[in-house]
Chain A
Amino acid sequence: GAGVSQSPSNKVTEKGKDVELRCDPISGHTALYWYRQSLGQGLEFLIYFQGNSAPDKSGLPSDRFSAERTGGSVSTLTIQRTQQEDSAVYLCASSSQGTAYNSPLHFGNGTRLTVT
């Protein structure tokens, strides 16, 4: 079956422009997560959704970052007025249940964002 799909796979943008990253989770997965990973670094938590609501958005770095999820499925991560420090790989993952049941995360291939 289809895995987690992210688009675009690569995005180069100029500083100051807005970008929108998309994530299509595995069908039926209720939980959806956004992380970012800078070169040589670990995964930094950004936000997660349970259904369409975001119980924890504590990892969003600034008010330039926002995310939404509609219909319990597709999610978009929007970065406004991009800065060079936003350059990273943005990873989306989905899970079939809450983590209390030890269900694994299934990751997409990520979007590599480069801000010039």
Chain B
Amino acid sequence: RKEVEQDPGPFNVPEGATVAFNCTYSNSASQSFFWYRQDCRKEPKLLMSVYSSGNEDGRFTAQLNRASQYISLLIRDSKLSDSATYLCVVNGGGTSYGKLTFGQGTILTVHP
């Protein structure tokens, strides 16, 4: 089993749609969770951290389910500018707490 697995997509949605991505992780000792965004041929950038109680940043909502070992990202009212690859990131557990593992990414295309 991969350390971090994501919905491969691609997702093609119209402007204004709501879209959700899921990500599962294998290490139950993981403590830190993030969503990054990567535009074509650019470096990844932090979108948001994921907190235990769930958190929201504008149109973006992140959730963590420790029991099932998955995190999710919900994007409401999609914009054309949301088109990108979304990367789930999880840290290692125990002595590998500093290791950050990226999922393969989910491609999102928002069309007019």
A contacts, CB < 8 Å to B: 31, 33, 35, 41-43, 45, 48, 50, 55-56, 58, 91, 98-100, 102, 104-105, 107-110
Contacts and interface: CB of A to CB of B under 8 A. Distances in A.
B46 to A, nearest CB: 4
Interface of B: 31-32, 34, 36, 43-46, 49, 87, 91-92, 95-105
Nearest to A31: B98
A45 B34 CA distance: 15
Given A42-B104, A99-B32, A100-B31, A48 B45 contact: no
A42 B102 CA distance: 7
A109 B41 CA distance: 9
Nearest to B91: A99
A102 B103 CA distance: 17
Contacts of B97: 98-100
Given A104-B46, A107-B43, A107-B45, A45 B102 contact: yes
B98 A55 contact: yes
B104 A48 contact: no
B95 A55 contact: yes
Contacts of B45: 107
Contacts of A50: 98
B96 A55 contact: yes
Nearest to A98: B98
A37 to B, nearest CB: 9
Contacts of A48: 98-100
* Residue among A45, A55, A99, A107 facing the most chain B CB atoms (10 A cut-off): A99
Nearest to A43: B102
Contacts of A41: 104
